[in-house]
Amino acid sequence: MSVKGVKNFVPDDVRVLVQGITGKQGSFHTEQMLKYGTNIVAGVTPGKGGQEVHGVPVYDTVKEAVEATGANTSIIFVPARFAYDAVLEAIYAGLNPIVVITEGIPANDTVKFLRIAKANGVRIIGPNCPGFIVPGLTKVGIMPNQYFKPGNVTIISRSGTLTYEVAWNVLKAGFGHRLVVGVGGDYVIGTNFLEFFDEILKYDEDTEAVVVIGEIGGDDEERLAKYIVETGFDKPVIGYVAGRTAPPGKKMGHAGAIISGSSGTADAKIKSLKEAGVHIAYRPSDIPEILKRVIK
């Protein structure tokens, strides 16, 4: 089966650069991605140029790496305090998309690099995300390899582990994945649900159904619901929202997962999605059954 790239997002010819490749995380996931078949062409760690990590050449700067290898996509593992610099280095070297795995980046840094990315027409995924996978084509992320197979179900999620759980359930039910992406658990993220739908999914002919995994906090789910209503998005969408039992005012693991006052509750999100015609799953295990119903 030959799998194509995803328009406005993943090029057919993905050539991955790993920023922070010599670190523990960077090195481990480089190996995992290579095992999956990802075309990792270069790594960068300042001061470690000339080394190799799992056979991947390491450069001191992103510019050199891009010039030497034609890398077009970046995945970033550098520690939070260096992330701002690393993302901008990638932007100005022309990499696009840029996946920021790093957790713990201050929101002040994130809003700045997102704004500059936008001014340069560059897409950012994350921060604090598991990345993305297009089974059969590439994995630019940290998800475990074994739960993903090519197919036509796209999963967009604010979560990490829960996404793998759902992906696995989808697989066990006999479906495969077109694209699985974790948008990130941080308070401010590069590409949110609405943007994914409007800029990417509506153009992707290979997506037959979309599973959206939301959680408490913010209003990304509500805004997506509004978008679906307003644009008449015409592929079946299944929604699951985690945190129905979460108390207000407490940060539930993710920086963005917090109910403030009366806003950001799971119930409000579920209500909005339901009214927009989204098929609601109340348990992750409901998803395969719904998929069987909505995919003819």
Pairing verdict, β 131-134 and 124-125: unpaired
Q: Clarify whether 254 is annotated catalytic.
A: yes
Residue 283 binding target from another protein, its own copies, none, CB below 5 to 8 Å by type: another protein
The alpha helices in the chain, defined as continuous H runs, are: 24-36, 62-69, 80-92, 107-119, 161-172, 193-199, 220-231, 266-275, 287-294
The residue (of 204 and 264) whose beta carbon lies closer to another protein is 264
Q: 240 forms bridges with which residues in the sheet?
A: 213
Q: Decide if residue 81 touches another protein (CB under 8 A).
A: yes
Residue 231 binding target from another protein, its own copies, none, CB below 5 to 8 Å by type: none
Q: Decide if residue 165 touches another protein (CB under 8 A).
A: yes
Pairing verdict, β 131-134 and 177-182: antiparallel
Is the Cα dihedral 13, 15, 16, 22 positive or negative?
positive
The residue (of 107 and 229) whose beta carbon lies closer to another protein is 107
CA 278 to chain centre: 21
Q: 76 forms bridges with which residues in the sheet?
A: 19, 100
The residue (of 1 and 119) whose beta carbon lies closer to its own copies is 119
Instruction: Kindly identify the residues of this chain, within the stretch 43-72, that bind another protein according to CB under 8 A.
Output: 46-47, 49, 60-64
Q: Which of 138, 142, 144, 171 is nearest to 155 (CA)?
A: 171
Which of 71, 225, 242, 290 touches another protein by CB under 8 A?
242
Q: Decide if residue 111 touches its own copies (CB under 8 A).
A: no
Question: CB neighbours (10 Å) of residue 5?
Answer: 16
C-beta of residue 225 within 8 angstroms of C-beta of residue 278: yes
Tell me which stretch binds its own copies (CB under 8 A): 7-15, 84-92, 112-120, 168-176. Answer: 112-120
Q: Decide if residue 119 touches its own copies (CB under 8 A).
A: yes
The residue (of 173 and 188) whose beta carbon lies closer to its own copies is 188
Question: CB neighbours (10 Å) of residue 198?
Answer: 15
Instruction: Kindly identify the residues of this chain, within the stretch 257-286, that bind another protein according to CB under 8 A.
Output: 257, 261-263, 266, 282-285
Tell me which stretch binds its own copies (CB under 8 A): 9-17, 62-70, 115-123, 248-256. Answer: 115-123
The residue (of 120 and 263) whose beta carbon lies closer to its own copies is 120
Q: Decide if residue 118 touches its own copies (CB under 8 A).
A: yes
Positions marked catalytic: 254
